Structure 1
Amino acid sequence: MARRAYDGEVSLHPSDPQALIDLHAHSSVSDGTESPADLVAAGVAAGLDVLAITDHDSTAGWVPAFEAAQGTGITILPGMEVSTQLDGASVHLLAYLVDPAHPGLLAETEHIRAERLHRAEAMVQRIAVDYALEWDDVLAQAQPGSTIGRPHIADALVHRGHVPDRSAAFQSILHWRGGYYRPHLAPKPLTGVELIVAAGGVPVLAHPGGRGPDRVFSEKRITQMVDAGLAGVEIGHRDNPPASRERWADVAERYGLIVTGSSDYHGLGKPNVLAENTTTPENYARIVELGTGSNPFVG
């Protein structure tokens, strides 16, 4: 598959071995609080050399991010975070350098976004029985075209005064044990890897210690994903406890996987800070060399 071209030259890797590279950040296209342009500005202010825009199941923020990066010197790595599920656990895959027009990936992510919307509506209906909350409250917290999900419900609950912040909402009302939770349908991780690879992308398992993958990934399942094209694992992440980092570092060594570190920045939506975890230029170069669906954009 030929690379899709964007205006601007392509950089395989920064020449500075101390380059700051953050490969996981969200804009208001999904559940971040900053527009793609403001996200890029935040990356520049943080001194980043490379910033990946990885909104949930959407590439809609790419072009605005490229436009904002023009002339700043920062490189934008286009990506997204694909939602999958396995044995009831939410498993996220970072998909770098995919072809944003690939029919298979487009169809699956559109389906995931539609399911997220239905799930959010159903949860709001349940919550509204016990709390003053309306669907319009949730819509008011999202930008037009955003992938609406639980973070927007959390922001609506904050706005209504039911909880002090988004984190408190997830620890109480929106917790899966809170009585209002509703699971959403998503493909299995193996299918997600196959779709990303088919779209010319580079699949990296996101924060495996944070949302249940540790308990659902047997050695057999890991091997299946690697055989299907899983290229890396995000080990440097605040949600990965030490034991999880050790486990996945061993997995990465045994299978020759790319190791990444990232902030998972959401603006004011999470306490995560840009560049709190970073990726080495060598591992970034491996991602760029593998991706065939799109190019990094050099501002």
Structure 2
Amino acid sequence: MRIDLHTHSTASDGTDSPAELVRNAAASGLDVVALTDHDTTRGHAEAFAALPEGLTLVTGAELSCRLDGVGMHMLAYLFDPEEPALLAERELVRDDRVPRAKGMIAKLRELGVPVTWEQVARIAGDGSVGRPHVASALVELGVVPTVSDAFTDDWLADGGRAYVAKHETDPFEAIRLVKAAGGVTVFAHPAAAKRGRTVPESAIAKLAEAGLDGIEVDHMDHDAVTRDRLRGLAADVGLLVTGSSDYHGSRKTCVLGEYTTDPEVYGEITRRATGAFPVPGAGGHGV
């Protein structure tokens, strides 16, 4: 069984529509895929409607968090999307995305980059606008060669020249909210140092004490030494270990199923969840 628990669609900053994503997941030989768009569940209905036979969909979201000034992402799986407190927090984060993007555009223009809100909005389409859309605009303008090259101190990295902060959830509060909504939490790419500062491993132990369920170990931004170290940490503090592609379509180089999660770990995630349940595909409805 091949299981990929971290993907994005056009509902946030991926380039595949939710329907395209599930069809591509099936075509790539996956048995289970999680749709985890940033701070939104808006793509789930379309993914359900197009879900191919033989593919199971895990609903989720990737929550924007910040701990002691360091940005981090929390994967939340199988929670009740209508639970009021978690819904309200996701809306706070989502609603701050547009003014944040406009603030970054203003800073870029001050730096001599002729980016416009209209350009970024076109790139984002119906998705929740975020830094990757601004980064894509910089690629279009020839300022940087790739989206990843925009996430540096020169441009959009945390603390970079064009960086603007947004509302982000305290991760301990995120764990509490997700658990109250019947969900399961996994700290995404915790040691992805190329993205900027990372939280210390001592903080991961404290998050585990607060109810964190797992950490994403097998990920394109973790080398072999880092993966081994994180596996040891997970064993020490009793966390599940997941692996995922962090697929964004053509916006990133990773491919569906590049890293996967052990079926026993997936089974434990589904056993812990009470807010929602994985949905097996029945052929889709042609979305």
What's the TM-score, normalizing by structure 2?
0.91
Alignment of 1:102 with 2:86, yes or no, is: no
Map 1:6-85 onto structure 2 (within 5 A): 19-69=1-51, 71-85=52-66
Alignment of 1:266 with 2:245, yes or no, is: no
**Partner residue, 1:159:** 140
Per-residue Cα deviation, 1:47-72 (whole angstroms, up to 9, x for no partner): 10000000000011111111110x42
**Partner residue, 1:184:** 166
The 3-state SS of whatever aligns with 1:24 is: strand
- Equivalent residue in structure 2 for 1:115, among 66, 88, 96: 96
Query: Does the CA-based 8 Å contact 2:3-2:33 persist in structure 1?
Result: yes
One-letter identity of the residue aligned with 2:96: E
Whole-angstrom distance in 2 between the partners of 1:213 and 1:283: 29
Residues 208-217 or 84-93, more deviating? 208-217
The 3-state SS of whatever aligns with 2:124 is: coil
**Partner residue, 2:285:** none
Identity of aligned residues (%): 45
Query: Does the CA-based 8 Å contact 2:92-2:167 persist in structure 1?
Result: no
- Equivalent residue in structure 2 for 1:197, among 154, 173, 179: 179
The 3-state SS of whatever aligns with 1:100 is: coil
Across the two proteins, how many residue pairs are aligned to each other?
Answer: 278
Whole-angstrom distance in 2 between the partners of 1:187 and 1:175: 19
The 3-state SS of whatever aligns with 2:21 is: helix
Q: How much has 1:143 moved relative to structure 2?
A: 2.2
Unaligned stretches of 5+ residues in structure 1 = 1-18
Query: Does the CA-based 8 Å contact 2:14-2:251 persist in structure 1?
Result: yes
Residues 201-210 or 253-262, more deviating? 253-262
Per-residue Cα deviation, 1:67-126 (whole angstroms, up to 9, x for no partner): 110x42100111110110112211111100010001111111111112222211101011
CA 1:177/1:224 → structure 2, altered by over 3 Å: closer, same or farther?
closer
Whole-angstrom distance in 2 between the partners of 1:120 and 1:287: 34
Query: Does the CA-based 8 Å contact 1:208-1:214 persist in structure 2?
Result: no
- Equivalent residue in structure 1 for 2:224, among 233, 236, 242: 242
Residues 102-111 or 150-159, more deviating? 150-159
Q: How much has 1:248 moved relative to structure 2?
A: 2.0
The 3-state SS of whatever aligns with 2:143 is: coil
- Equivalent residue in structure 1 for 2:234, among 244, 247, 252: 252
The 3-state SS of whatever aligns with 1:141 is: helix
One-letter identity of the residue aligned with 1:253: A
Per-residue Cα deviation, 1:190-247 (whole angstroms, up to 9, x for no partner): 111111111100001110111579853353x334322322111110001123343233
Query: Does the CA-based 8 Å contact 1:91-1:213 persist in structure 2?
Result: no
**Partner residue, 1:147:** 128
One-letter identity of the residue aligned with 1:68: A
Q: How much has 1:147 moved relative to structure 2?
A: 1.2
One-letter identity of the residue aligned with 2:37: D
Alignment of 1:169 with 2:150, yes or no, is: yes
